[in-house]
Each structure stands twice: as C-alpha cells, then as structure tokens.
C-alpha cells in the first residue's frame, strides 16, 4: 500500500526499485496481476526490469516474484506418474546433449523424469531442436499426453505448454530486447518458475561455467546456482546443483543430428569420457534426491537406458531406428600449426561455428538445419601432428563455411606437453 492506503501505480514501484527500496509481497502480486490484465504497460515493466538489473531483488522479493510467475498460469499434477519425480535443468552449453541420455537413464533406474526443454539460441543448442532431428518425433504435447508418455516410459522430453508460467514468456521477451537477460535474480526466477510449475518433486541443476557457458566466471555461476537452489527449497522442491565445466565442447559432436547420434552411442556404452562423466554425476544426484538406490552406470552398460530412450522416442511419434539427416557438404578445419598436444579448444568459438553452419538460430523464429554441425576430431589432451585438422564442419549450404571458419580463428592451441586433466564437475551445492 502507498501512503493513501491504495495499491501503488506502476511508476511508484519503478521509482522505489530504482532508488534501492524493496518491493513488498502484495505489491509484486498486484504488479503481475495488473500486467497480465494489460493495466501495466510493457514500457513500464521494461523500466522495472532495468531497475532490477541494477538494484537486484533480495531473497524475500525473489521468492514473491517467482511465486507470482508460477501463479500466472497452471501447475501440472504429476501424481499419476506412479514413480518418484525428478528433473534436471542445464543453463546451456556447446555439445550439451546430456538430457537426451539422462532422462531415459534415470527413468531406467526407477524414477519419472518430466523434462520440459527449450530451443537453442545463438551459440548454445536446444534439446528440442536436437530431438526434432529424429523423424516423426513431436516436441509439443498436451498435459494429458505428457502424463501418458511419462506413465508409459518413465520419461518425457517436450516443450512447455503456453499455460505454464505465461508471465515468464512475456517477461523474457522484454528482457531479450532491453539488455536485462543477464540479471541473476531474473534468470533464476525464469528457470525456477517453469520447473516448479512443472510439478516435479526434485530438481538437479547443471550450471555451466566457462567460455561456452552463459556464466563465464565461476563466482557468477555459483551465485546463480545457490539462488536457484534456495528458490527450489522455498517452493517445496528438493533442489541441488552441480557446477560443470564448459570451456571445451562436451563430447565430440556439436549440432542436432550429430548430437543425437552421439547420445545414442553413449546409451550403447560407447560415449566420450567427458560426456559420460557429467551424465553419470547428474544421474547419481537425481537418483539421490528421488530416494532411489540404483547404479546408473550399470543401466548404461546393460542396455536398459537405451531401451528406455527408444520407448520414449516411439511414444512421442518418432522412429528411433530411422536414419538421421546427413550434411551435403563437409570440410576439415582448424589444422594443427605444429606437432604436439591440444591445450585448449574454445567452446564458444565452436558453438558459433556450428550456429553459422545452420545448426543454431539468431532469432527464436529462425529455422535450424538438422544436418549442420561440427565434429571435434581432437580435443584437449589429444596428440596431433602438424596440419592435422582438429574439426570437421558440416552444412547443407557451402556458402556458410566462410563464416564458420572465421569464428574459429584462435580457437585452439597446441603445446609440447599434455595439459593437466581437470574433472568436469567442479562442485555440488544444495541438499
């Protein structure tokens, strides 16, 4: 209430936050209700987002802000899943096809994994774009269809419906055009409002750190992770987070169809070591939060996880045995300047190259190519000879090679000694 005993005008909330004051719970609820009714203009909400970008939200404000976003739409009821529910969210990276492996893997160990995923933008890929490389597979499911697939196969990966935290969709569009995307409270509330509304009982966050991640600095990633862990707990969702490295592409495939191929190879027990390490660490954490005593490594080894993946793909209209798209043109890239050991391979540069080849999009409405992408022929720790290509570029449009090659300038380094091996998982936060 203002000093007249009435709810404030939007301009009063903007001014208060601009001047560093906290927003009372009832004012935040009023703001969202009024915004969704069209009584608060986009220009005013944009101004408030900018004030929050500079002034932040304290934990009480953030809890109320997130609750208002959740309450702007429906909540899914996963009681019919028949198993303990647990989900995972990644903040995004290059070559991050973990969800494709992780959801069926954890399901094969006895949990229900309701994974609402997104599409790629810029240098980071999207889980839905990758799975849409599988012929017939559908990303858009009604809530009833989602529950049906979850009961049938133990896992589902699909798009969030329009009724789930609709305020987030509107706010994200404003943040995207007002340079306020990077605000940690706004990132945390955006991610957690959808995950809490999804109805899962437990959640593991994969917060990426490094050149290919949204958060390049560990301190920022740690702050984001802790903020989301706290929000989850405040809203009754058992939440933990792993900080994982994203200086180098995860695995060796970056793109859509090529990442599906690598994910399936991993489910067959033939995955690259770094991808397997991250996937198993997340799987163990998810099973721990779900209260399930199972060994995910055994589920990979004995074929249970692969069968679970195939069942999920079929349940969503896809054919797991169908051949995937292959690029019309391939070209070697990034020749080693000398004999030696690969010291680094910049994840962001490789992600931008894949995007320019057609695997990603600059705007949400842009199409993506299933076949385009990059294969890492060598990664840090591999021995190479002078002139040996470190990458293979794939595209259906030869004119894209020039832009992709330009993105790779300075993307790798070769040295005389093997680099130190660093674990992919940096730390765990939360329960």
Q: Could you give the CA distance from residue 158 to residue 117 in angstroms, rounded to a whole number?
A: 6
230 plus 250 within the same structural domain? yes
334 plus 300 within the same structural domain? no
Element housing 233 (H / E):
helix 218-234
The residue segments making up the domain with residue 184 are 79-322
Question: Do residues 180 and 49 make contact, with C-beta atoms less than 8 angstroms apart?
Answer: yes
Mean pLDDT rounded to a whole number for the chain: 94
**Threshold 0.85, pTM exceeds:** yes
Average pLDDT over residues 187-213: 95
Q: Could you give the CA distance from residue 115 to residue 298 in angstroms, rounded to a whole number?
A: 22
H-state helical runs in 39-96? 42-55, 59-70
66 within some domain: no
Q: Within 10 A of 223 (CB to CB), how many other CB atoms are there?
A: 15
Burial of 314 (0-12, 13-18, 19+ CB in 10 A): middle
Give 298's contacts (C-beta < 8 A, 6+ positions apart): none
334 plus 298 within the same structural domain? no
171 plus 254 within the same structural domain? yes
- Smallest CA-to-CA distance from 380 within 420, 351, 349, 348 is with 420
- Residue 117 pLDDT more than 60? yes
280 within some domain: yes
Question: Do residues 232 and 268 make contact, with C-beta atoms less than 8 angstroms apart?
Answer: no
Token code pair at residue 427: 């730390």
Q: Per the structure, how many domains does the chain have?
A: 3
pLDDT digits (tens, 9 = 90+) for 22-42: 999 999 999 999 999 999 999
**pLDDT value of position 223:** 96
279 within some domain: yes
Give 268's contacts (C-beta < 8 A, 6+ positions apart): 303, 306
The DSSP line for 156-206 is EEEEPPTTSSHHHHHHHHHHHHTT-TT-HHHHHHHHHHHHHHTT-SEEEEE
84 plus 209 within the same structural domain? yes
H-state helical runs in 323-373? 347-354
103 plus 34 within the same structural domain? no
**pLDDT value of position 162:** 84
pLDDT digits (tens, 9 = 90+) for 303-350: 999 999 999 999 999 999 999 999 999 999 999 999 999 999 999 999
Q: Could you give the CA distance from residue 108 to residue 153 in angstroms, rounded to a whole number?
A: 9
Average pLDDT over residues 169-179: 90
421 within some domain: no
Torsion sign over Cα 182, 186, 189, 194: negative
Average pLDDT over residues 412-426: 94
Q: Which of 62-76, 102-116, 268-282, 351-365 has the lowest mean pLDDT?
A: 351-365
Average pLDDT over residues 151-164: 92
360 plus 299 within the same structural domain? no
Question: Given strand 253-255, what is the order of strands in its sheet?
Answer: 253-255, 373-376, 389-395, 329-335
- Smallest CA-to-CA distance from 381 within 405, 348, 412 is with 412
275 plus 351 within the same structural domain? no
Which residue is associated with the tokens 């079929």?
314
DSSP β-bridge partners for residue 430: 240
258 within some domain: yes
Burial 373-405 (b: 16+ CB within 10 A, else e): bbbbbbbbbeebeeebbbbbbbbbeeebbeebb
Token code pair at residue 129: 């774009």
| CATH number, position 376 | 3.90.1170.30
**pLDDT value of position 360:** 85
Element housing 226 (H / E):
helix 218-234
- Smallest CA-to-CA distance from 366 within 173, 120, 158 is with 120
Average pLDDT over residues 403-425: 95
| CATH number, position 288 | 3.40.1030.10
Element housing 275 (H / E):
helix 273-290
The three-point CA angle 218-92-406 to 5° equals 95
430 within some domain: no
Average pLDDT over residues 67-77: 93
The three-point CA angle 233-238-244 to 5° equals 100
Element housing 415 (H / E):
strand 412-415
pLDDT confidence tier of residue 74, bands split at 50, 70 and 90: very high
Number of continuous H segments (helices) and E segments (strands) in the chain: 16, 13
18 plus 147 within the same structural domain? no
Burial of 54 (0-12, 13-18, 19+ CB in 10 A): exposed
261 plus 160 within the same structural domain? yes
pLDDT digits (tens, 9 = 90+) for 211-270: 999 899 999 999 999 999 999 999 999 999 999 999 999 999 999 999 999 999 999 999
The three-point CA angle 221-225-227 to 5° equals 120
Q: Within 10 A of 15 (CB to CB), how many other CB atoms are there?
A: 15
429 within some domain: no
Burial of 306 (0-12, 13-18, 19+ CB in 10 A): buried
Q: Within 10 A of 76 (CB to CB), how many other CB atoms are there?
A: 19
Question: Do residues 347 and 407 make contact, with C-beta atoms less than 8 angstroms apart?
Answer: no
369 within some domain: yes
- Smallest CA-to-CA distance from 124 within 24, 67, 208 is with 208
- Residue 81 pLDDT more than 90? no
- Residue 3 pLDDT more than 80? no
pLDDT confidence tier of residue 6, bands split at 50, 70 and 90: low
Higher pLDDT pick, 376 / 172: 376
315 plus 384 within the same structural domain? no
- Residue 120 pLDDT more than 80? no
Q: Could you give the CA distance from residue 251 to residue 377 in angstroms, rounded to a whole number?
A: 11
Q: Which of 61-75, 88-102, 108-122, 276-290 has the lowest mean pLDDT?
A: 108-122
| CATH number, position 34 | 1.20.970.10
292 plus 404 within the same structural domain? no
Residues labelled catalytic: 89, 168, 175, 190, 194
């Amino acid at each position: 209430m203002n000093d007249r005993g009435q709810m404030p005008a939007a301009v009063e909330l903007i001014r208060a936050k601009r001047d560093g004051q906290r927003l009372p719970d009832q004012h935040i609820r009023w703001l969202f209700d009024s915004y969704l009714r069209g009584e608060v203009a986009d220009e005013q909400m944009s101004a408030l987002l900018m004030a929050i970008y500079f002034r932040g939200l304290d934990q009480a404000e953030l809890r109320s802000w997130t609750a208002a976003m959740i309450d702007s739409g429906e909540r899914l009821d996963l009681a019919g899943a028949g198993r303990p529910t647990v989900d995972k969210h990644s903040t995004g990276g290059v070559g991050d096809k973990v969800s494709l492996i992780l959801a069926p893997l954890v399901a094969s160990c006895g949990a229900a994994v309701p994974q609402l995923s997104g599409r790629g933008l810029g240098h980071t890929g999207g889980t839905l774009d990758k799975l849409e490389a599988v012929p017939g597979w559908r990303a858009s499911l009604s809530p009833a269809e989602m529950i049906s697939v979850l009961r049938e196969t133990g896992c589902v990966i699909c798009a969030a419906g329009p009724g789930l935290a609709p305020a987030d969709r509107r706010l994200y569009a404003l943040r995207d055009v007002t340079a306020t995307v990077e605000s940690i409270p706004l990132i945390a509330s955006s991610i957690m409002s959808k995950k809490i509304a999804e109805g899962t009982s437990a959640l593991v966050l994969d917060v990426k750190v490094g050149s290919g991640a949204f958060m390049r600095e560990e301190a920022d990633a740690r702050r984001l992770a802790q903020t989301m862990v706290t929000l989850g707990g405040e809203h009754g969702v058992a939440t933990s987070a792993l900080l994982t490295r994203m200086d180098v592409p995860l695995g060796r495939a970056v793109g859509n169809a090529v990442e599906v191929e690598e994910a399936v190879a991993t489910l067959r027990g033939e995955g690259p070591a770094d991808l397997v390490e991250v996937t198993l660490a997340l799987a163990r954490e998810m099973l721990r939060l779900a209260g399930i005593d199972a060994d995910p490594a055994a589920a990979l080894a004995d074929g249970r996880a692969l069968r679970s993946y195939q069942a999920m793909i079929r349940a969503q209209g896809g054919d797991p045995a169908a051949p995937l798209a292959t690029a019309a043109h391939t070209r070697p890239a990034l020749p080693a300047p000398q004999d030696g050991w690969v010291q680094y391979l910049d994840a962001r540069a490789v992600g931008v190259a894949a995007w320019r080849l057609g695997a990603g999009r600059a705007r949400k409405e842009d199409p993506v190519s299933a076949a385009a992408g990059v294969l890492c022929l060598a990664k840090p720790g591999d021995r190479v000879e002078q002139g040996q290509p470190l990458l293979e570029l794939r595209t259906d449009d030869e004119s894209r090679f020039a832009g992709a090659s330009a993105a790779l300038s300075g993307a790798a380094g070769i040295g005389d000694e093997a680099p130190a091996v660093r674990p992919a998982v940096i730390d765990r936060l939360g329960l």
